[in-house]
Structure 1
């Protein structure tokens, strides 16, 4: 069970990190494209007097908040997970050796 647990934990962690980086790349590409489109439209004078209103900043700003939440979920909560795993293991009276294996699996 030790190896099976470690393998599932590591695979989930890698999948989460890969998902975040995919999200980041899509965010950069789409917002770069939107910026180019906005600049092109602005050069034609279609926006009028206020070319940089909510239409320009809305998508990158709101999507950026979502990206920050995703980053915090993937990278920021890992310490909480470690503490919770240790707490539950202590409740269940699992061995210190098993706790050490889980700690080491986080860095393998």
Structure 2
């Protein structure tokens, strides 16, 4: 049983590292892509005669940051916590309960 526990812990740790890596890549792409697109859009708006304030707070630019930002927030919540409802803690507790229940069932048969 100890090998199973160690293997399970190792797999969980590897999964967590992969998820963190995925989040860092996602967040980096978010920053680079949105900064590039927003900069190009602001320069174009300034060339068209808009003021800096109008160019910075253009609905298209802000909307892009906001919508993708919501996705980033959900990704971060899934990685860093906020497992109030059916999260990782719930999953591990349920898994432990099921294992204990099966052990009790098999011990009663013997």
State the TM-score, normalizing by the size of structure 1: 0.71
The structure 1 residue matched to 2:78, chosen from 70, 73, 76, is 73
Q: Are residue 25 (structure 1) and residue 28 (structure 2) matched?
A: yes
The 5 Å alignment of 1:46-65 reads 51=55, 52-65=57-70
Gaps of 5+ in 1: 95-108
* Bigger radius of gyration among the two: 2
| Count of aligned pairs | 93
In the superposition, relative to structure 1, how do residues 56 and 47 fare at CA in structure 2: closer, same or farther (>3 Å)? farther
Instruction: Give the Cα–Cα distance (whole angstroms) in 2 for the partners of residues 90 and 46 of structure 1.
Output: 65
Higher RCO (CA 8 Å, separation ≥ 6 residues)? 1
Q: Are residue 82 (structure 1) and residue 85 (structure 2) matched?
A: no
Could you list the per-position Cα deviations for residues 62-99 of structure 1 after superposition, in whole angstroms to 9, with x for gaps in the alignment? 000100010011112467313431333134228xxxxx
The structure 1 residue matched to 2:11, chosen from 8, 12, 18, is 8
The structure 2 residue matched to 1:92, chosen from 63, 88, 99, is 99
SS in 1 for 2:62: helix
Gaps of 5+ in 2: 102-110
State the TM-score, normalizing by the size of structure 2: 0.70
Match of 2:108 in 1: none
Could you list the per-position Cα deviations for residues 14-42 of structure 1 after superposition, in whole angstroms to 9, with x for gaps in the alignment? 00011111111111111110121022102
The 5 Å alignment of 1:26-45 reads 26-45=29-48
